[in-house]
Amino acid sequence: MAGVRNRRAIRWLRSQLPELVASGVISSENARAIDGYYEHDQPRVNFAFVILAALGSALVAAGIILLIAHNWDDLSRATRAGVAFLPLLIAQALVVFTLMRRNESRPWREAAAIFDVAAVATAISLISQTYQVQGTFADFMRTWLLLSIVIVYLLRTSLGVIAYVIGCVLWLFARWGPASSAGNPLLFWFLLTLVIPYVAIRFRSDCDSRETATLVITVALAAMFGVGATADFADANVGAIAYAGLATAIYLCGIKFFPQPAGRLHLLALLGGIAIGVVTIVLSFESNWHMTYRVASVPRTSAANLAVVVELLFPIAAVCLASFDLLRRRAEFSLSAALFPIVTAIAWAITHLCEFPNDRWRSTRCSFAAGTVMNCYALLLGIDILARGIRTNSIARANFGLLLIAALAICRFFDNDLSFVARGVGFIIVGVGFLVANLLLFKRRTAS
Amino acid sequence: MKMLRILIFGVVALAQLAVPATMVWQRDQTLKQGRIWKFRTAPVDPVDVIRGRYIALRFTAEEFAAPAKFEAGNKPVYAVLKQSTDGFAEIDHLTTEAAGTDDAVPVESVWWWGGKQQVRFPFNKFWVAEANAAAAEHAYVENNRRDNQNAYVTVRVRRGDAALDQLYIDNQPLSEYLRAHSPQ
């Protein structure tokens, strides 16, 4: 991939240089030139130092917030308003100084960004207290996030991005009342989309770094919360397909954009794989396929329809990603995992063959059939992952496949009317499977 | 590139300053020029970890007799106020027309139960000093019982903007009341 610097590969290449010189493949001048060329790719700043600088800055800002939360009664309104602007002005001066004089220093950039973002919150909070300005925590978060996003780009702060994404999720939760739904979550997707260019820039500059991995995982996790809120708002019974699509898309992105040596998985692919397993088990419960008549009878708004479109983007993206690689015969992913959104869509279609009951608690023949499809799929997925694990000699993968089968068995143990004998036999088979697979793998490892 | 970054930050910095500055300006206008209304209150005191402590307010005017539920659809609702014989604010009627006058305030939610229309006013938090929070809560609860209804707030209303001005306990601003009743 053009423009992408694989730091691990560079490290390996540099370590190979003495051997290549010794065996006469390249001259020592060539080796020095190669070494010099890649020298600037070495991390210049200790990441721990960056974290400490950001943490120190966050502590100072938190201290200021606490002092201000104290709400000084003796000062007049005008004086307190003046004081509210003080930390913000200092933070802004620090940002200007950093941009002019310390633009290449990552700890300075991270610290200045966090200080400025916290100072904005401080100013808004103090003014709110002083002037008894009302408004919800969600309103406060939204304003804060919109005022912070440009700072992320100006100061190129990855910690800022992580904090921003957490803020987006907090905004989503802040609107969820004890008796009310989260409301329209489309702003969440807009806010989350704003960080995508930054993540893409980090990916292009160093796709192999921990920083990039952390960024993509944070965004993926936030998207999971977003899909939940979107499904709740859309109220269109397609949440299952959306979650299946998102989990698969995360898995496929992990495989496609973060290729690893044979037998290994990038953290993003691992997260996607785990999400596929968890969502499959959740959807194997028949009760999750109980559709209600209510959804079809309530008049739909354009915002709710747009939310359905957002939900469906994920399965479409997953199918496109998988099809693209399959057509080019470059598929390195598990086909059974990639089929997840399609299987879920089939189960969803089956539930729509029957008329919906009036309440969610009643099962129909179709919901039972959909549950059965998901159970069969979960079993096949577990077996496939187990087989892949044995084939590639990966103990973790084989055990994950077995874990999936075991989880399926445990779930059916609790919610099915199977006899104790059948349940007992099922558990013995799964237990023996665990033992045999692990024995096989350990033997093979010892032999090799 | 450096200049461009600083230029962009200049715009961002202005926006960062403009948000709290606008809050100050708008509130200041309402507090100076708005029509004053008195609202009787009722208790609770949760903690908002981000914005310090506040007294959560309920108002007697938030409930009034109505033969049927007010239907607003998805439109915002405003309460048109009137003054009762004892000088406190009451809701005259609800409307979806934003009048922009000094006697109408926006309301957050509307529901109807047992022949009574209920609303929530948006000015429902009164920020208090952390050091005074416990004493303020105690004073508020003591003066907000059925047998001792002695607390109210003043709210300034200007062109539909409602600014909470002061919480009065026993006809004194909260801070003065606490000073007068402190243990020393």
| pLDDT confidence of residue A2 | 38
CB-CB under 8 Å, A128 with B127: yes
- At residue B68, φ and ψ (nearest 5 deg) are -145, 160
Helices A210-234, A267-283: inter-axial angle, 10-degree rounding: 30
Q: What is the pLDDT of residues B141-163, one digit of tens each?
A: 888 777 777 889 999 999 888 89
Residues with Cβ within 8 Å of B159's Cβ and at least 6 positions away in sequence, in order, are B100, B101, B102
Q: Residue B44 has which token pair? A: 């609770």
Question: Which of A258, A182, A192 lies closest to A220, judged by CA?
Answer: A192
State how far the alpha carbon of A95 is from the alpha carbons of A19, A99, A110, A151, B8, in Å.
Answer: 47, 6, 10, 9, 12
A151 in a domain, yes or no?
Answer: no
Which DSSP category does B119 fall into? Answer: E
Q: What is the pLDDT of residues A14-24, one digit of tens each?
A: 878 888 888 88
What count of Cα atoms within 13 Å lies in the side-chain half-sphere of residue A249? Answer: 24
- Tell me how close the Cα of B172 comes to any Cα of chain A, in angstroms: 16
Q: Are A126 and A171 in contact (CB under 8 A)?
A: no
Q: Are A115 and A61 in contact (CB under 8 A)?
A: yes
Mean pLDDT of chain B: 84
Q: Which domain holds residue A29?
A: 1-42
A313 in a domain, yes or no?
Answer: no
Q: Residue A133 has which token pair? A: 């300005």
Location of structure tokens 């004081």: A83
A197 in a domain, yes or no?
Answer: no
Question: Which of A202, A201, A215 lies closest to A163, judged by CA?
Answer: A215
Cα–chain-centroid distance for residue A158? 15
Mutation pick from A75, A115, A134 vs chain B, by most beta carbons of B within 10 Å, is A134
Which residues share a beta bridge with B154? Answer: B38, B166
- Domain tally for chain A? 1
ipTM for the assembly: 0.79
Sheet containing strand B104-107, edge to edge, reads B89-95, B77-83, B104-107
CB-CB under 8 Å, B129 with A133: no
CB-CB under 8 Å, B123 with A154: no
Question: Which of B137, B135, B150 lies closest to B182, judged by CA?
Answer: B135
Contacts of A130 in chain B (CB under 8 A): 127
Which chain A residue lies closest to B175 (C-alpha atoms)? A73
CB-CB under 8 Å, B123 with A132: yes
Distance CA A316, CA A295 (A): 23
Q: Are B44 and B69 in contact (CB under 8 A)?
A: no
Pairing status of strand B172-173 against strand B89-95: unpaired
Residues with Cβ within 8 Å of A165's Cβ and at least 6 positions away in sequence, in order, are A192, A195, A218, A219, A222
Q: Are A215 and A202 in contact (CB under 8 A)?
A: yes
- Tell me how close the Cα of A136 comes to any Cα of chain B, in angstroms: 10
Contacts of A71 in chain B (CB under 8 A): 52-53, 127-130
- At residue A264, φ and ψ (nearest 5 deg) are -110, 155
What count of Cα atoms within 13 Å lies in the side-chain half-sphere of residue A115? Answer: 24
Q: Which residue has the higher pLDDT, A422 or B107?
A: B107
A1 in a domain, yes or no?
Answer: yes
Interface list for chain A against chain B, based on CB atoms closer than 8 Å: 65, 68-73, 81, 84-85, 88, 92, 95-96, 99-100, 103, 116, 120-121, 123-135, 137, 140, 143, 147, 150-151, 154
Supply angle C-alpha B133, B135, B138, rounded to 5.
105
State whether residue B28 sits within 8 Å of chain A by CB.
Answer: yes
- At residue B125, φ and ψ (nearest 5 deg) are -130, 130
Secondary structure (3-state) at A181 = coil
| pLDDT confidence of residue A389 | 84
A31, amino acid identity? A
Q: What is the pLDDT of residues A130-149, one digit of tens each?
A: 888 877 888 889 999 999 99
B111, amino acid identity? W
Per-window interface: B 123-152 vs A, CB < 8 A: 123-132
What per-residue string of b and e applies to A350-384 under the rule 16 or more CB within 10 Å gives b? bbeebebeeeeeeebebbebbbebbbebbbebbbb
Answer yes or no: is pLDDT of B45 > 50: no
- Please report which residue ranges of A206-238 form alpha helices under DSSP H: 210-234
Question: Which of B130, B145, B119, B161 lies closest to B55, judged by CA?
Answer: B130
Q: What is the DSSP annotation of A346-408?
A: HHHHHHTTSPPPSSTT---HHHHHHHHHHHHHHHHHHHHHHHHHHHTT-HHHHHHHHHHHHHH
A7 in a domain, yes or no?
Answer: yes
A28 in a domain, yes or no?
Answer: yes
Residues of chain A with pLDDT under 70: 1-8, 39-49, 62, 65-74, 177-182, 292-298, 356-362, 415-418, 448
| pLDDT confidence of residue A435 | 81
A80 in a domain, yes or no?
Answer: no
Mutation pick from B39, B49, B50 vs chain A, by most beta carbons of A within 10 Å, is B50
Other C-beta atoms lying within 10 Å of the C-beta of residue B120? 14
- Tell me how close the Cα of B64 comes to any Cα of chain A, in angstroms: 23
| pLDDT confidence of residue A219 | 96
| pLDDT confidence of residue A442 | 77
| pLDDT confidence of residue A1 | 41
| pLDDT confidence of residue B43 | 56
Answer yes or no: is pLDDT of B110 > 80: no
Dihedral angle sign, alpha carbons of residues B168, B169, B171, B172? negative
Distance CA A426, CA A410 (A): 9
